[in-house]
Each structure stands twice: as structure tokens, then as C-alpha cells.
Structure 1
């Protein structure tokens, strides 16, 4: 388990204090007396994979800085995260605040700054909110690896568990471990049984929230966003001295990109904001989404999120609402991500 090598203040009885967890996967203060922050880590190539391979566990703390930093990177200043929430009035982290920590667990074993990959699919289950000051344990496993169309894919399953042992969020991600991001575009936009077109029915009703009165064909009021270079760089671990196509111009151009691109997981975080607006507190305790990434999204490039209600089913546990979701670049109309989401709300 990774912790920073400091002790709790105020110990005067001579006892040994428990080390404090840092807010990130790694503690950047190691750079003071460590020359190579990635020494001993494997090169992130398909041939070095071990299946199954444990990733973590690592304990981090969701402190005030982590919450405010995520709010900046997403431009999402939800008052539940900065003041009080519907969960006993306590401050909570954003729905996807731990998403990138889970995705990046592989960098505990592999050199993150040597990774030039492509996130192809993300799936998340939201079980409970994370609270300000809470210590969270993250762990994952590489469960599958395969080759397709000349690319090497790896599948990770991971979860975040709270101090009391409850599940906060579960993650399943698919990644091309090493590729040329600029050469990947126009990927398939569905699964064998489902396809997201990104088109709206002509009689669509636009709604501001989703609930028991929702009906198929409703459209959640779209959300427009732009992620700046500063936001992308901070989200993509610049503060831990990790360099990649999201926070470094030279590395982006080496990957055949004009400028850095927004991480797929950062787009997932914006979807988390959007669906929190739609479902409210229900999203934190019963939300699910599965997202596929199709095209790159450059920093400073405006984009729009849209969600279409495709199913409404009322049962004993509440009303389950199913959606198609997508993200579209506003400059040329191309989709960067498509997917599906669902949540059950009280009747």
C-alpha cells in the first residue's frame, strides 16, 4: 500500500503515528530526493503484460485540494462538493473524482510517462458518494489482453472502497497500451447489438432533469463545454510530473497530434457532471454508464454533451431510466464518444 512517509502531527506520547495517505497515486514531493520517479517500473508495452496482474492496492485521501482541483479541471463547481450535499449535509467529491485514479492504477507497475495509449472504452458503476477527508482504497487487476487489427488491448477491472468497506465506484476499462493516437479516428460507434447514432427524433422534448415523469424520446438539455490546456494538463497528472499526450506539446506531436488532446477519462468526468444534473443524488447511488471513444478531442475545442431517453421502466425499487449519450465536437460535428447510461430514481 502506497503512503507518504510522514506522520500525523501532534504526537507527544512517543507513539508511532500512522502514515498519512497522499491525495494522488504517487507523492510528487519524492522528487526532492529521487532522481528517477519511474525507476523500476515496466515499460508499458503489450509484451510486458501479465494476466492476471494485480494493480495496487493504494490508499489516497479525498481532501479539500483534491475536490477543488477536480472542480477546476472539469469547470464543475457543484455546491454539493464545495459546501453541503443531500447526503446528511456532508461535502462530497464529484461523481467521477476517483475515475482517473482507477484508470491510472497501471502506473504503479508501468512507467506512465512512457505510455502513448488510447482509451477505447470506459464503464463505471456508482454505488455511493465519497466524503471530504475520507481515505479511500483503490485496487485493480488486469484481467484480459488480446490483439485486434494490429493493436494490443488490455482490460482492467478496479474499484474504490471507503473507510467503512462500502463500495464507492467500480470501473472496467479497455485500453490500447501503446499506439499512435493521431492515427486513430472514426472508430465504431456501437456494439453488435446496439448502436448510438447521435441523432435526435424530430419530436424530442427537452427536459432539465430526469425522473419518474420521463418518457422515451426526451432529451436532457445539452451541456456545452471547452477543456483548456491548463485543465487537461492538471487532470492528466502534471502535478505528479507524469508527461503524456494530454499535458505535453512535444509528446503530443510525437504521437502525430497537432496539440494535446483531452483525456477520454476527463470527458467521462464531464458526462458525470451532466448526468448528476439529470438524475440528482440518485446518480451517486445507482448510476451506470458505458462509453466508447471514437475520435480525439483537442484542448480548447468546444464540444456538446447530449442524452436521449431510450427506456423508462417502473418497478418496486423505483423508475429505471435508460439513455443513449454522446459527445460531439462543435467545430466539425464529429462524435468523440458515445455510450449508454442508466439510473433508478425513487417513484
Structure 2
């Protein structure tokens, strides 16, 4: 694939690198994660003013109207600086779910607010029994004279403690594993019956397990019973974004490791002068570029038909997951014992890469998913 960024995309990349270089160095990141929630209102306002929050939101709703490739550029930049703001949950999931499934009235109400940074969303979809299956949903919504009431439990709801609203995937019909009968609802986390247990994840982000006990939904997003197609499409786009974050984190690890082996001396010379170390750095570069190519393929395929989009997303997830472990382990090993300390960024990047590898489906899941999808070569 021969793909060159447009002038606008190159400008976006430059603006990201410039702002993050000034405002998101490792010492600034360490101060940020000491907060609860671990992100900054000032940063979020800056993201909004530079158009990053509305990157894929249509211009008619206050966004820039760009595509998944532009969001991939943002993901790679954010991954290289371990950005903790709720971009994946609120923008990649939240705005795209409303864009894919919402009514025109709902788009007009919520998309401008998301783009300007005044509304934050969190997507509650995973359950204890679902593993990585999007259609395995036991949480149910009961229709009443006043709308819908939701009962059930969701786990690992990213950024839920700081969200203004929750988008909840619940069953309005069918059995637990049916692909039909799924609907999306907007829920106020402050409503009676919502119990939120917040915790920190291994990569210093925030998530929550949430119990819904006859909670009155604020609104049904779109139509009843046919949400799965929209959820699958948005999740594949989220996988592409997450892979881009992984690419950015691997890039940062390799650059830090290369700088270190040039100054760490053993036997009277820098260890980077040894050919075996040089070979290992080259191997890491190969892993990085393979991951970057597959991530670009997933982003380009975001608007393709459902089968091609899913195959591209799963292929990228497998490649990035494998490469993340190789790059992370080698970066720590080449740094020696210091690579495991909290005072150095290396271990923090590796923890983020482990989350990237597992979130939205691990290597085994996506290998099986890829194999199960029809291929043009078959």
C-alpha cells in the first residue's frame, strides 16, 4: 500500500507533535495521573479548540468532517505521549455511536457539544460473561409508559467516573447471545439505581463496574432492537484507533531505547556499538513498521463493507498485539533493571501496550474472528 498523507493531515500531525511536546512530557504526565480522574480540563479544552474532539464529526454539527485516517494520526500521537484524556471513550466511541445510530435530532443535540468539549460520554457494553463478544448481553431494558428502565451489570466502563452521560448497550428482545434485539440508551450516571465502582486500570487510567437497578433511561438512541451493526462498525473503528495508540507507544519505546543504548557503556564502549544490539533495534523497527502498515489498512478500511472492515481490524489487532509484546519486552531488557522502575517511562509504555493488546479483543480472539470471516481468496 502506497499511502501519503495529505497536506491537511501533515499539518494535523505537526500540530499534535508540537502541542504534545510542550504540554505532555513524562514529568507532566506523572503529575496528571496523580489526579482522580487522571486528566486535565485545560487539556480537554485545548483539544476542543484545535478541533481534535470533532475530527470525524460532520461540519454541519460543529466538527471538521475528517475520517478514520485523521483519527489514526491523533491516536498515534496520543500513544507516543501516553495521553490519558478520555478520547477513546468519549470521541471514538461516543460521538461515532451517535453518528452511526442516533436520530437527526440526537445528532444535532449531542455532536456539537461533544466537539466543543462540553459533553463527555462513556460506552457501557462489556459484561462478565461476554468476554469479547459484542452480542453477548444480559443487561435488559424494559419498555414502560414513560420510556425504558434498565437492569443489569456492566464491567470495565472506561472513563465512566468522569462521564456526563453513559451510552448503555442493553437487550430489548431475544436471548443473551442473540444478534438481534440489542438497543443503545443514553443514561445519566447520577440517576437513582446507578451504582458505580470506580478503579484504576494497570495503565493508570480510570474505569468502573456499573450496576443498573431499574434505572430510567434518558433516551433510546436511534431505533429499538438493531444496534449491533452500528456497535460493530464503531468498535472496528475503535480498534483501528487503539492500534494507532499502540504504534505511537512502540515508536516512543524504540526511540528511548535507541537513545539509551548509545550512552550505556559496557566493556569500555556504548552497548549500542555491539552488532547484536543493533540487530535487535532493527528487529524492533520491523515490528513497528509492520504494525503501522496494518493500522493504516484498518483505518482505510473503516468505511469498507462490513466483512472487509472486520478482517482489517482483526488483522491489525493481531499484528499490533504481537509486536507490542516484542517491543515492550526488549525495551525493558535493553534498559536493564531501571526499565522496570516507575521513575522511567519505559515500564509505563509497556503497561499501556498490554492494555492495547487485550482491550476490545486479544490476539487469540481476533485470530479466530479473522479466520471465521469470508475471504476473497477462499
TM interval, shorter chain, is under 0.3
Highest relative contact order (Cα 8 Å, sep 6+), 1 or 2? 1
Q: How does the TM-score come out when normalised to structure 2? A: 0.26
Structure with more strand by fraction: 1
Structure 1 length-normalised TM:
0.28
Larger-gyration structure (1/2): 2
Higher helix proportion, which one?
A: 2
